[in-house]
Amino acid sequence: MTYLAQTQAPSNWTLSSLASPAAPSNFPFLPIFVGIHVAIYLFEEYLRYRQRGSKSSSANPTQQRWLFMVNFSTIRELINMLPFLVIFCSGVFPRIWDLTDRSWLRSDATRGAAFIVGWLLASVAFSLPFQAYETYAICPEGKEKPALLGFFAERGIAFVATSAICVVTVMIGVQLISSGGPHLWLYAWLAVSAIILAGYLLLPLIHAKMCCEFYGLENAELKHQIENLAQNQNFPLGDIRTLHEPGQGCGVYFYGCGSKRLVIYQEGRIQDKLDDSEIGKIVATVAHALGHWNHSHNQQTLCFELLHVFVLFLLFGIANGGKDIIARSFGFAQPEESSFVSAMLFWLVYSPVEVLIWVAKRLMLRRFETEADQFVVGLGRGNGLRGALSEQMQKSGKDPDPDWMYSAYHYSHPALAERLRMLPGHPHAAEQEQEEVKVPLLSK
């Protein structure tokens, strides 16, 4: 039989058939998977090295604490990498799956659920010492430490809730994969897209009704300036509410399909009497939110998420045709009998793609923040924005000036100093503002 005859498309062609001629039966999925994850680890360690270098010359106690956190994460990630290499390089991974082959776990769904719960339990037990050390040993000064019993109770509740969600997801997912047919990827994408759209429209309304206690904006001057700003930008402002959020600097969000409700949240209620600088900070923060609305950032983020899940399920549909090849590479003898194993191995192989997608999303969100900042500057509210950013950073306790590459990889928002540098007319504002925020941050 010729190669042409072997690869000729059947009449009932499906997306999963793309994988059959594309990958040879001995394609080294496992070595490539391990190699990519090691490369990601080394790249992240290089970023920590850069971040460490940007802090090592400072004698500021807060900077030294951030330096210690980077060193701590280096040790933690190295220790996390060791069991990863042992599990996937020694052939132990298929043996772990074999442990679920018990008489009372005969179905694929129940074995998958037991495997996930066991994996989560091992992950919690492995990470618990690091979390405890981070909570009690390197907790910032002035921050209240939870009681030891409360610490373990919180982790226990989180484990039970996560396990319950994963078990339900596995039970439903395995049944769908087993009976979904060759076009399951398309149906799954449509269903998840519908859920994302419903969440985009309904979750803010549900959260506002059930979880928030709003107050009216009593400061007349502030309300007048916000209404004028919204009117000048043709923003469909409905009403203005305030929200008490402990430990938060001033922030703004809006929701609603037609007329928008604008919510200003900060620690404590907005006072009846505010000086011009305080009003300027709040109005600049509102202008920043209007900048996101003006540039349709929420809609672009929604489109990105829909494209994200489309890529995920498209690749799943393609990989489903070569699931046996992937499973043999990972050391599984009879993978065709387990839909759970096929889905799990696909997610492992796909996970490096997920890293690239999340990096792309962070870069997109950082660009959105820059555009919103420039929108505020264009309205003549740059000074208010500068004050609002400095105040927010004082309350958050985050590093105001990390290494640029470390920040771009890990953070969805540009750092304080980076945002201040982009404000026109103040070339040295970043250094001045950084000195101003160091002293308040010592108490964090």
pLDDT in tens, 285-344: 999 999 999 999 999 999 999 999 999 999 988 887 767 788 888 888 765 578 888 889
Report which residue type is found at 27.
Answer: F
Cα of 26 vs its chain's centroid, Å = 35
Q: What's the confidence (pLDDT) of residue 424? A: 64
Q: What is the CATH number of the domain that holds 223?
A: 3.30.2010.10
Q: What is the spatial distance between Cα 133 and Cα 280, in angstroms, rounded to a whole number?
A: 41
Q: Which two three-digit tokens encode residue 429?
A: 């504002």
Q: What's the confidence (pLDDT) of residue 259? A: 83
Report which residue type is found at 106.
Answer: R
pTM of the model: 0.81
Residue 217 lies in a domain: yes
Residue 279 lies in a domain: yes
Per the structure, the complete domain to which residue 234 belongs is given by 212-294
Q: Which residues of the chain have pLDDT under 70?
A: 1-25, 55-60, 62, 139-143, 211, 247-248, 322, 334-336, 395-398, 424-444
Residue 38 lies in a domain: no
Q: What's the confidence (pLDDT) of residue 43? A: 95
Q: What is the spatial distance between Cα 435 and Cα 82, in angstroms, rounded to a whole number?
A: 40
Residue with the two structure tokens 């007048």: 224
Q: What's the confidence (pLDDT) of residue 435? A: 38
What are the b/e assignments for 132-159, b being 16+ CB within 10 Å?
eeeeeeeeeeeeeeeeeeebeeeeeeeb
Residue 237 lies in a domain: yes
> How many domains does one find in the chain?
1
Residue 238 lies in a domain: yes
Residue 153 lies in a domain: no
Residue 103 lies in a domain: no
Q: What's the confidence (pLDDT) of residue 430? A: 40
Q: What's the confidence (pLDDT) of residue 24? A: 54
Q: What's the confidence (pLDDT) of residue 437? A: 36
Residue 408 lies in a domain: no
